[in-house]
């Protein structure tokens, strides 16, 4: 079976052609980073307009890269939500149009489920039950997964997402957008304990995450020490490097500690590390060092399947196609779509 999948939940126009679950024939992503960089973050209206301009072009590029004709596609899959409503509507409308014109079945996919499926593209032998951490610029959530397609959310962020916090600090010190990859590179030259960040305490005992306190502490330090925005990227001051390295370490430690606490309550054979921030080298290293000695194998996708992409949407769609769980032409986008089945 050959699926064409579309993902437009935020600021990437992504289309993939996937055959028989794991055979990725193409995975094309048109990034809008350059468009949004001057604003220090995603501007929803600009994002949706860019999707309109790019969607047909990227579909054609994915078909050409896969060396298949549109008529050779057996089904369509599309991200229904969550995400930016304008961006989602572009993808959903285009997918419905293709499904109608081609007389092919259409499957709606939750964007978060796509992330949780992303490690399965390259790893066929993941053992369950598992804990799945989705960590990105828009999401930081932890799920208990007895088996794929059964999810219970056990933790979420109560304020900023982890990637959002990294982006805000990067903007505050003039390093640019998106901040996560920049901070990841710079942190290799920094001292991770140069600045002390207090770990957040959740008063009701929940496993939830919180990152706004780190951001507030960092901004206070910037003001108190009159740290000016970086203007020469070839000579970033060491105090700035140490600050972002300490900030990144505090976020990684929080993610690892909360996940370890969850592992005590929800014993798992595997930990799935997904979402754009899962590209972070310190995060990957820390999870390997913390969880594999506890008997929980750590899996994360290659970078091309970590950030928003359509191959993960296709991967999540295959079981639904096999069950005949199709959407009709009344399908619409849902910006607040939830993922929880148990």
DSSP type of residue 327? B
CB 163 within 8 A of CB 134: no
pTM of the model: 0.94
Instruction: List, for the chain, all residue ranges whose pLDDT scores fall below the cut of 50.
Output: none
> HSE (CB half, 13 Å, CA atoms) of 319?
12
C-beta separation of 2 from 311 below 8 A: no
Task: Say what the pLDDT of residue 188 is.
Answer: 94
2-116+305-323 CATH pick, 3.30.420.40, 3.40.50.10800, 1.20.140.10, 3.40.50.300: 3.30.420.40
Whether 19 and 336 have beta carbons less than 8 Å apart is answered as: no
Kindly list the distances between the CA atom of residue 308 and the CA atoms of 95, 176, 243, in Å, as whole numbers in the listed order.
17, 20, 28
- Please report the pLDDT score of residue 64 as a whole number: 98
Q: Which positions ≥6 away from 93 have C-beta within 8 Å?
A: none
Q: Is the bond preceding residue 257 a cis peptide, omega within 30 degrees?
A: no
pLDDT per residue over 91-144, tens digit each? Answer: 999 999 999 999 999 999 999 999 999 999 999 889 999 999 999 988 999 999
pLDDT confidence of residue 21? 84
User: Residue ranges per domain, the chain?
Assistant: 2-116+305-323, 125-300
pLDDT of residue 256: 97
> What pLDDT is recorded for position 203?
76
CATH number of 125-300: 3.30.420.40
Closest to 187 in 3D by CA, of 253, 238, 153: 238
Q: How far apart are the C-alpha atoms of 13 and 129, rounded to whole Å?
A: 32
- Residue 171 CA to residue 150 CA, distance in Å, equals 38
Q: Can 2-116+305-323 and 125-300 be said to share one CATH topology?
A: yes
CB count in 10 Å sphere of residue 318: 22
Q: Kindly report, residue by residue over 299-309, the tens digit of the pLDDT.
A: 999 999 999 99
106-110 β-sheet, strand order: 23-31, 12-19, 2-7, 75-81, 106-110
């Amino acid at each position: 079976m050959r699926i064409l999948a579309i993902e437009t939940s935020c600021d990437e126009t992504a289309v993939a052609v996937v055959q028989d679950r794991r055979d990725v024939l193409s995975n094309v992503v048109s990034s809008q980073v350059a468009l949004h960089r001057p604003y220090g973050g995603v501007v929803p209206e600009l994002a949706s307009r860019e999707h309109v301009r790019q969607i047909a072009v990227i579909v054609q590029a994915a078909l050409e890269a896969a060396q298949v004709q549109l008529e050779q596609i057996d089904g369509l899959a599309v991200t229904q939500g969550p995400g930016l409503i304008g961006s989602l509507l572009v993808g959903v409308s285009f997918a419905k149009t293709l499904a109608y014109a081609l007389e092919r079945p259409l499957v709606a996919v939750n964007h978060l489920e796509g992330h949780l499926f992303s490690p399965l593209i390259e790893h066929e032998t993941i053992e369950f039950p598992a804990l799945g951490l989705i960590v990105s610029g828009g999401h930081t959530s932890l799920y208990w997964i007895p088996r794929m397609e059964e999810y219970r959310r056990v933790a979420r962020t109560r304020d900023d997402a982890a990637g959002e916090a990294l982006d805000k600090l990067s903007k505050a010190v003039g390093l640019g957008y998106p901040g996560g990859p920049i901070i990841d590179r710079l942190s290799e030259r920094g001292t991770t304990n140069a600045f002390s960040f207090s770990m957040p305490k959740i008063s009701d005992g929940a496993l939830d995450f919180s990152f706004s306190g780190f951001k507030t502490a960092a901004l206070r330090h910037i003001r108190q020490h009159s740290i000016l925005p970086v203007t020469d990227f070839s000579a970033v001051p060491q105090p700035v490097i140490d600050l972002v390295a300490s900030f990144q370490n505090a976020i990684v430690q929080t993610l690892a500690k909360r996940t370890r606490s969850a592992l005590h309550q929800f014993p798992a054979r595997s930990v799935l590390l997904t979402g754009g921030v899962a590209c972070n080298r310190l995060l990957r290293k820390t999870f390997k060092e913390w969880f594999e000695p506890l008997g929980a194998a750590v899996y994360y996708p290659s970078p091309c399947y970590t950030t928003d992409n359509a191959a993960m949407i296709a991967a999540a769609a295959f079981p639904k196609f096999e069950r005949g769980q199709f959407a009709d032409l009344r399908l619409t986008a849902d910006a607040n779509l939830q993922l929880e089945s148990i």
